[in-house]
Amino acid sequence: MDLLIHDSPEAVSEAASTRVAGLLTGTSGRFSLGLAGGSTPEATYRALRSAGGGWDRVDAWLADERWVAPDHERSNGHMAATVLFDHVDATLERPRWGEFIMPEDSAAHYEARLRSIHGKRPPDLVLLGMGDDGHTASLFPGTVALQERTRWYVANHVPQLGEDRLTATLPLLWSARLLMVLVVGGGKAEALKASFEDDTPAGRLGQGDAEVEWYVDRDAATLLA
């Protein structure tokens, strides 16, 4: 795992957006881009609006989603669309949602769509965040989805939040070419330290084949040796 420490949250977003833009322009063919929710990824997406070409080759999808209506303010897909994907010529795949659709059925349909998009090729890049409890995507500590080893995408009940989420699983994340984890703020310092000791869900990202790059600010990195 590579640790890249930056002076501020703004510097993290700028470095991440520059890295993403470079990957888009430096590759040919379809490009699979997994997306995170949260304020730091949002700033990164905003910076990417002015990135160069290549968006018409991008198949973007959500590493996780809250079980809310597509236009809900808490929806990761809604944020990604309004901040970036309504402004670029890319394809954004979002999970189905409806009052009479079960989260498990939506996750199964989304998984089938992701398998169709990828075929035998891995995701090129997945952007992720990390919570102050060490969760990444919607893989929260102690939840069932952490044990999944065959499915790519599942519904995950999160008792500590009292809600359902849809999430990419570790097998899908492990299969990616590159994972970029964006972490800012002193409130995440303990979780970041624990992650580098493999003691959180986020810390398990490095257990697969994916290259993992951590983009963190100095406040988040205060407890790292």
- Domain ranges (residues) in the chain: 8-164+181-195
If you compute the radius of gyration of the chain from its CA atoms, what whole number of angstroms results? 16
What six digits make up the tokens of 28? Answer: 């040919």
* pLDDT single digits (tens) 64-104: 999 999 999 999 999 999 999 999 999 999 999 999 999 99
Instruction: Please give the Cα distance from 175 to 177 (Å, whole number).
Output: 7
Burial (CB < 10 A; 0-12, 13-18, 19+), residue 156, is buried
Instruction: Give the pLDDT of residue 184.
Output: 97
First to last CA, the chain: 15
Let me know: does 178 contact 210? Beta carbons within 8 Å: yes
Q: Kindly report the three-state secondary structure assignment for every residue of 109-139.
A: HHHHHHHHHHCCCCCCEEEEECCCCCCECCE
CA distances from 81 to 19, 85, 170 (A): 20, 4, 25
Instruction: Give the pLDDT of residue 27.
Output: 87
What is the pLDDT tens value at each position of the chain, 225 positions in all? 899 999 999 999 999 999 999 999 988 899 999 999 988 899 999 999 988 778 999 999 999 999 999 999 999 999 999 999 999 999 999 999 999 999 999 999 999 999 999 999 999 999 999 999 999 999 999 999 999 999 999 999 999 999 999 999 999 999 999 999 999 999 999 999 999 999 999 999 999 999 999 999 999 999 997
Instruction: Please give the Cα distance from 162 to 29 (Å, whole number).
Output: 41
Instruction: Give the pLDDT of residue 93.
Output: 98
What six digits make up the tokens of 113? Answer: 């769509």
CATH number for the segment(s) 8-164+181-195 = 3.40.50.1360
